[in-house]
Amino acid sequence: MQIWVDADACPRVIRDILFRAATRTAIPVTLIANQMISVPPSPHIRSLQVPKGFDVADDEIAQRVSPGDLVITADIPLASQVIERGGLVLDPRGERLTKENIRERLSMRDFMQGLRDSGVETGGPSGFSAADTRAFGAALDRLLAQRPRQT
């Protein structure tokens, strides 16, 4: 298993949780973003900068993910691609995206985009909270506990 992070919009507190998990489990964590993101010195953590552009980081993650890898992203289309390739997806608020719920998420995203395109103010997501941080940490721990152990 490898953990890929859609890091352009990933909250710092979530990155810190992932850094601690990488150190504790020796699972490689790679942050992919349009800008260089500093990471602590570790053989298990790295940052990869991709060129600026629409969905460049998402495309890089989608190309690199392998079955069983975990991707941290709030981007629904990227999540859908990862799931199709056999990867696992966890959003920064601790919600697991799966084959069972991704179609509904894509439909809702497209519906909301249609409203915004027609001029309707839809607001944005609620602010990131301490409860979101705790939910993410708990969900990550559950996923890491379920992963097959290497012998």
Ordered DSSP codes for the chain: --EEEETTS--HHHHHHHHHHHHHH---EEEEESS-----S-TTEEEEE--SSTTHHHHHHHHH--TT-EEE---HHHHHHHHHTT-EEE-TTSPEE-TTTHHHHHHHHHHHHHHHHTT-----PPPP-HHHHHHHHHHHHHHHHHSPPP-
Per-residue confidence at 151, pLDDT binned at 50, 70, 90? very low
- Residue 124 in this model has a pLDDT that exceeds 70: no
pLDDT value at residue 33: 97
- Residue 145 in this model has a pLDDT that exceeds 80: yes
Fold of 3-146: Rossmann fold (3.40.50)
Rounded to two decimals, the pTM is 0.86
pLDDT value at residue 150: 55
Summarised one tens digit per residue, pLDDT across range 100-120 is 988 888 777 777 777 778 887
- pLDDT > 70 in the chain, percent: 97
Q: Could you tell me if 42 and 110 are in contact, meaning their C-beta atoms sit under 8 angstroms apart?
A: no
Q: What is the overall mean pLDDT for the chain?
A: 91
